[in-house]
Every structure is written in structure tokens, then in C-alpha cells.
Amino acid sequence: MPIYEYVCKKCNHSFSVLQKAVSTEKDTMCPKCGSGDIKKNFSVFSCVSPGKSLSTSSSPSDFSGGG
């Protein structure tokens, strides 16, 4: 189940909810004030692949064969 980020339009409280992907904003209520007047925020995520270097300053010769 994904984590969704919301902001309450009534009290401006930001919160995250672990919920089913089929859930909508109308299925969620603000945990601070109980309002159903909320808006889903766009959030960013990061992903790192094993064995890949994120450094742009390294050359392939900087890495050993591993093991």
C-alpha cells in the first residue's frame, strides 16, 4: 500500500496516510480537526539501483571487480 500526503484545507495540517491505491480524498479525514476538506499533495521519491553509482566524478576504472 502506498503512502499518500495530504493537506487539510480547513486547518492547513499536513499529514501522511498509508492507504489502498483505490482510496480517494473523500475517503480520508484530517487527523487534527476531523475535516474531510483535504487535498492530496504531490510528493517526491527517490530510488537507488544496487550496483549503480550516483557519483558523476567517478570513472569506470575507479571500481574493482567486486567480490
State the Cα–Cα distance between residues 7 and 17, nearest whole angstrom. 11
State the Cα–Cα distance between residues 29 and 9, nearest whole angstrom. 11
Q: Structurally, how many domains does the chain consist of?
A: 1
Does the residue 65 lie in any domain?
Answer: no
pTM: 0.59
pLDDT of 67 reads 47
One digit per residue, pLDDT tens: the chain, 67 residues? 788 899 999 999 999 998 887 887 788 999 999 999 999 988 777 777 787 565 555 555 555 555 4
Which regions of 19-56 does DSSP assign to beta strands (E)? Answer: 38-40
pLDDT of 65 reads 53
Domain that holds residue 19: 1-44
Does the residue 67 lie in any domain?
Answer: no
CATH of the domain at 29: 2.20.28.10
Does the residue 51 lie in any domain?
Answer: no
- Indicate the Cα dihedral angle 40, 44, 49, 50, nearest 10°: -90
